[in-house]
């Protein structure tokens, strides 16, 4: 019953937002509540919801002040020299800009923090996309593709969870995955090239009549907020913020709060200027934060009612013993939808132990199972259960449903490319 209820809830949710019959925010709140009531959890509904919101609260606070901080950095012109340098190099070529987005995402993603990657890469690249009239969906797609592959880094999250479950260390699980990640990165570069080429042809065809071009009013506001004399101060402040994050000096939410306040006061010392900047970006911050807390309700009900555990057990129980030779490949193929519909915690701590036990019984090795379980990360970041996804679409200025529809086939391509790489090097056998 709980399995059917859980899958039905997710299917209804995805249908309603993909067909744009409900706004994602309202769907994230109302759909799980209705299903929880239908499942007989009315008495505990309040505590379940608050537990979900409580768990997501630090992330929500961090993203609010992270958006405001990087918005100030963009307004003040911190990234202008980088943008101008890239513009000089790419010479207005959308193909080179798309490729630059891919390379920058891969490099910035080395820190393992998706939210920081989104904020830095969007801040640096979105002005270029606006100047050339490129579709921001291309930007969000390429960033998510790169982030999905680089999320396999041990400090990114899923690999650490897999190593914990399988009782393996980084040398045993991650090191063999490096060629697989290289295959995923090659796919990201190919996808960026193809999307950039497609944009180049579209822009040439449409000329100046491009709906993605920035308007003159926005350009005037941007010029008024520039602070070229404070670039070095802002750069130092950003470096200190990133260092604080890397060395865990303070909780990330606290670091962003402090950095935001300093950036706002130094760049815009007058109160009316501060109000203007906050008003300019409050809508974006509120939009992302509301999505984050709504996602907390969704995941809180999924886990608090037991639906997630029931879904995990039911999905692994349907694999026949006769599929032993193909089990690692089946694990790799199934990891994409499983990590899309479930959180990483639910998959790696809930399902992976069951998969491992079944796989070892059928003759697979722990390395094969662990590697196969990570291949689905190419798709995972598209999940509505991943809070940082809402940050990316909010920063890029695109709709969540449009982003998923635009990116899904390319994300599946990332997982397929990694699976092929794993098969070619013999990491996964068939």
pLDDT in tens, the chain (430 residues): 787 888 788 788 878 877 778 877 888 889 889 999 988 888 888 888 898 888 878 877 877 887 788 778 878 877 778 767 776 777 778 898 999 899 888 877 765 567 778 877 888 888 888 888 889 999 999 999 998 888 887 766 788 778 877 777 767 888 888 899 999 999 999 999 999 999 988 888 876 445 544 454 555 566 677 887 888 999 899 889 878 877 778 887 888 889 999 999 999 888 888 888 888 878 777 777 787 788 788 878 877 888 877 776 666 666 565 655 678 888 888 888 888 877 777 777 667 777 777 777 777 888 888 888 899 888 888 888 787 788 888 888 888 888 998 999 999 999 999 999 999 988 888 7
Residue 320: both structure tokens together: 């026949």
Kindly report, residue by residue over 347-402, the tens digit of the pLDDT: 776 677 777 777 777 778 888 888 888 998 888 888 887 877 888 888 888 888 88
Q: How many CA atoms lie within 13 A of 101 on its CB side?
A: 36
225, 76 Cβ separation under 8 angstroms: yes
Closest CA relative to residue 309, chosen from 341, 260, 346, 273? 346
The alpha carbon torsion through 313, 325, 383, 39 (nearest 10 deg) reads -20
How many residues are present in the chain?
Answer: 430
Distance from C-alpha of 193 to C-alpha of 102, rounded to nearest angstrom? 9
CA 155 to chain centre: 15
State the Rg of the chain over Cα: 22
Q: pTM of the entire structure?
A: 0.72
136, 219 Cβ separation under 8 angstroms: no
Query: What pLDDT is attached to residue 76?
Result: 84
Closest CA relative to residue 273, chosen from 330, 336, 227, 321? 227
222, 75 Cβ separation under 8 angstroms: yes
């Amino acid at each position: 019953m709980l399995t059917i209820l859980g899958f039905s809830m997710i299917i209804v949710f995805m249908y309603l937002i993909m067909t744009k019959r409900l706004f994602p925010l309202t769907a994230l709140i109302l759909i799980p509540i209705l299903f929880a009531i239908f499942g007989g959890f009315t008495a505990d509904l309040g505590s379940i919801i608050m537990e979900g919101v409580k768990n997501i609260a630090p992330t929500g606070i961090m993203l609010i002040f992270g958006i405001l901080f990087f918005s100030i950095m963009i307004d003040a012109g911190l990234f202008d020299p980088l943008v101008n340098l890239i513009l000089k190099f790419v010479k207005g070529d959308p193909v080179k800009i798309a490729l630059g987005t891919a390379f920058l995402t891969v490099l910035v993603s080395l820190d393992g923090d998706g939210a920081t990657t989104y904020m830095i890469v969007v801040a640096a690249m979105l002005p270029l996309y606006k100047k050339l009239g490129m579709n921001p969906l291309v930007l969000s797609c390429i960033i998510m593709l790169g982030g999905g592959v680089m999320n396999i880094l041990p400090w990114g999250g899923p690999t650490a969870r897999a190593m914990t479950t399988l009782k393996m260390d980084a040398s045993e699980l991650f090191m063999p995955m490096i060629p697989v990640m290289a295959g995923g990165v090659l796919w990201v570069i190919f996808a960026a090239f193809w999307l950039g080429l497609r944009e180049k042809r579209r822009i040439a065809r449409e000329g100046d009549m491009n709906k993605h071009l920035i308007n003159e009013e926005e350009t005037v506001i941007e010029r008024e907020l520039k602070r070229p004399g404070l670039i070095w101060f802002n750069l130092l402040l950003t470096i200190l913020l990133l260092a604080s994050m890397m060395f865990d000096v303070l909780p990330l939410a606290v670091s962003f709060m402090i950095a935001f306040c300093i950036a706002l006061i130094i760049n815009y010392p007058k109160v009316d200027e501060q109000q203007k900047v906050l008003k300019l970006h409050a809508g974006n911050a509120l939009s992302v934060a509301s999505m984050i807390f709504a996602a907390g309700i969704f995941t809180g009900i999924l886990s608090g009612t037991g639906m997630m555990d029931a879904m995990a057990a039911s999905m692994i129980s349907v694999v026949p013993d006769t599929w032993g030779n193909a089990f690692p490949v089946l694990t790799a193929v199934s990891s994409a939808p499983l990590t899309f519909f479930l959180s990483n915690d639910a998959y790696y701590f809930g399902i992976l132990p069951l998969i491992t036990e079944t796989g070892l019984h059928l003759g697979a090795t722990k390395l094969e199972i662990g590697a196969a379980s990570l291949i689905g990360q190419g798709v995972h970041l598209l999940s509505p259960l991943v809070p940082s996804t809402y940050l990316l679409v909010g920063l890029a200025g695109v709709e969540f449903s449009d982003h998923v529809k635009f990116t899904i086939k390319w994300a599946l391509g990332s997982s397929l490319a990694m699976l092929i790489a794993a098969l070619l090097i013999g990491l996964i056998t068939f």
